[in-house]
Amino acid sequence: MPEIENFDVAVIGAGHAGCEAALAAARLGMKTALFTISLDCIANMPCNPSIGGTAKGHLVREIDALGGEMGKAADATFLQSRMLNLGRGPAVHSIRVQSDRVKYHTYMKKTVEAQENLYLKQAEVTAVLFDGNKASGVRTKLGTIYSAKAVIVSTGTYLNGEVHVGTVSYPSGPDAVSPATELTKSLVDAGIAIRRFKTGTPARVHRRSIDFDKLERQDGDENIVPLSFSTDRKLENTVSCYVAYTNEETHRVILDNIDKSPIYSGRIHAIGPRYCPSIEDKIMRFRDRERHQLFIEPMGTDTDEFYLQGMSSSLPEDVQLKFLRTIKGLERVEIMRNAYAIEYDCCDPTELLPTLEFKKIDGLFGAGQFNGTSGYEEAAAQGLVAGINAALKLKGRQQLLLDRASSYIGTLIDDLTTKGCSDPYRMLTSRSEYRLLLRQDNADIRLTPIGYEIGLVPRETFDKFCEKQRLVKQEIERVRAVNVPPSEELAEYFEQMGTEKITTGAKLAQLIKRPQLTYDGLKPFDKDRPELPFAVREQVELQIKYEGYIAIQLEQVEAMRKLEVKKLPPDIDYTQIKGLRLEAIEKLAKIRPLSVGQASRISGVNPADVGVLLVWLEQNRRREAGKSDD
């Protein structure tokens, strides 16, 4: 069939990665096609209907700060919001919202439909087309060809998807949507290594079959912090979530039927997520645990479906019903959608550059679960970066490279492209060495100027950001100058808060640094304090309270970046560098790091190998300098 239409960018898959990729490319002026097997599955949440959570909330705020859409969509369609980890330090505070699944899909579908330069196409892409080692377009199942200068693969779990429930297996994408069965061949033919991963999802059950009086109620926060920095309206919770627990009988039913699980019978060979195991995995791995927690969460305001977070399974449907009915509050539960496991094809992310472009194929990018990750937020973050870099590449502009000290997005991409992943990758706060710098509250400070420079953050948004920064700076300067005199009221307050009294005047900033005291708590003793928004007050307190720790981490960042600026030529023959160990040679030749810093993070490359690279670079620099002198 002849070519129908020409595009700058073609995005395959319209999940969370695909939507962010297509929106970014189109907003940067690229004529963009977004392909999906079904328009009814755009930005679908086939697993948990929630956005954010530990470390994932950080990713969403970073997406938002760069000019992405996920945070706005979550705020527009949320049912309940909670700030997690408030009992710990600010580095791990994370927003999590329960979203209305259908309304989230509707919001994102309308957003991509309304976007200038973006063209939605309901079609199964069966092949990426190549001109030599360059991506040149796509072909659909109908034989239609669309040319493109760049192609982004964001196929989620649809790529050769196969669903497993007990002894039954069949080709399918999530939610009984058709899988993409032919695309893998063209990728393999192009030399891309394909692997097989697995994930799973719990059952959905009917509201009327849940005895809520027997469950622990979990309400949202009274004071809600939006996921998007641009959300300025007051948000209110409209639903409650609930907590239940498995018990000895639940575990007995699962163990009695474990031979019927395709994971343990050998029917599933793909690798599943380490940090989100199925309930049968939990029972088998942690035999000593008396119970496991599950969360019972609404799917939306216009449906009676509830989601059982923490109970993914691939056991037969009758077994699922049997073990669920052993749980207090679910004794009469009705399953509306049974749990299932799904296997799918994905790439080896070490074949990607930090721009998310394939090293060996010009103009071909990967994003989302296709790159070996797990989770909506990880997918959206990669989609945004892939879309940005596809557009910047076509514009001839410098591409976006986020390092580990700039963002969790940078950490995510560096982990994938430098270390790879042996199972579906999930973002954790523990993955970052610079957690205190990469808080969710300062994502705009770190990334909004970058988003504005790229062209994704509108001028109005950037001006509001600049005004916020002006207020923060002005208030910090004022707080450092304010002297608080001793008084009976202050002494009484200090005793109440469990901190030492002052006998002479003290600077307000020094008092804020005390662990027991806060900026807002000291308001009665700060007579000239201006009225400021929460976001400004939050930054004033955190920047003052943790400035010593932040200074230490900034020194660590500086040391790291000294290695990042030492660039490695892409065509190095590592076998010719004397002193490198054989393992290091093999790993360096495979990953082909862009810098000594990236090389130092490759598994199998030790500090001695890094030293050899630094010596080689200096010798190479002197050789090149000698040639220029001649």
Q: Are residues 44 and 191 in the same domain?
A: yes
- Please list, in sequence order, all residues whose beta carbon lies within 8 angstroms of the beta carbon of residue 218, skipping any fewer than 6 positions away: 82, 240, 241, 242, 243, 295
pLDDT computed for residue 526 by the predictor: 94
Domain of residue 572: give its range: 565-629
Q: Are residues 116 and 57 in the same domain?
A: yes
Under 8 Å between Cβ of 479 and 509: yes
Please tell me whether residue 586 adopts helix, strand or coil conformation.
Answer: helix
Q: Percent of the chain having pLDDT more than 90?
A: 93
Report the number of distinct structural domains present in the chain: 4
Q: Does residue 606 lie in a domain region? A: yes
pLDDT band at 269 (very low <50, low <70, confident <90, very high): confident
Strand pairing report for 506-507 and 483-484: antiparallel
Residue 582 has pLDDT above 80, yes or no: yes
State mean pLDDT over 172-185: 96
Which residues does residue 484 pair with via DSSP β-bridges, in sequence order?
Answer: 506
pLDDT, tens only, 419-469? 999 999 999 999 999 999 999 999 999 999 999 999 999 999 999 999 999
In 3D, which of 166, 43, 426, 423 has the Cα closest to residue 270? 423
Q: Does residue 558 lie in a domain region? A: no
Q: Are residues 117 and 15 in the same domain?
A: yes
Residue 629 has pLDDT above 70, yes or no: no
Q: Does residue 560 lie in a domain region? A: no
Interhelix angle 317-324/248-256, nearest 10 degrees: 160
- Please list, in sequence order, all residues whose beta carbon lies within 8 angstroms of the beta carbon of residue 167, skipping any fewer than 6 positions away: 260, 262, 265, 267, 316
Q: Are residues 186 and 50 in the same domain?
A: yes
Please report, for the domain that includes residue 605, its CATH number. Answer: 1.10.150.570
How deeply is 264 buried, as exposed, middle or buried, from its count of CB atoms within 10 A (0-12, 13-18, 19+)? Answer: middle
Which residues does residue 130 pair with via DSSP β-bridges, in sequence order?
Answer: 135
pLDDT, tens only, 348-395? 999 999 999 999 999 999 999 999 999 999 999 999 999 999 999 999
Which residues does residue 23 pair with via DSSP β-bridges, in sequence order?
Answer: none
pLDDT, tens only, 536-564? 999 999 999 999 999 999 999 999 999 99
Q: Are residues 126 and 26 in the same domain?
A: yes
Residue 630 has pLDDT above 60, yes or no: no
CA 549-555-560 angle, to 5 degrees, is 125
Residue 304 has pLDDT above 80, yes or no: yes
State mean pLDDT over 185-196: 96
Q: Give the Cα separation of 21 and 12 in Å (integer).
A: 10
Q: Does residue 557 lie in a domain region? A: no
Tokens representing 604 are 């199998």
pLDDT computed for residue 1 by the predictor: 58
pLDDT computed for residue 4 by the predictor: 83
In 3D, which of 195, 157, 192 has the Cα closest to residue 176? 157
Phi and psi (nearest 5°) for 11?
Answer: -110, 125
Q: Look up tokens 């060495």; give the residue.
A: 433
In 3D, which of 383, 430, 391 has the Cα closest to residue 411? 430
pTM: 0.95
Please tell me whether residue 134 adopts helix, strand or coil conformation.
Answer: strand
Which of 404, 432, 454 is where one domain is finished?
A: 454
Q: Are residues 191 and 208 in the same domain?
A: no
Q: Are residues 190 and 249 in the same domain?
A: no
State mean pLDDT over 264-277: 84
CA-based R_g, the chain, Å: 26
Q: Are residues 620 and 479 in the same domain?
A: no
Tokens representing 329 are 């509050």
Q: Are residues 82 and 94 in the same domain?
A: yes
Give me the chain's average pLDDT, please.
95
Which of 491, 521, 552 is where one domain is finished?
A: 552
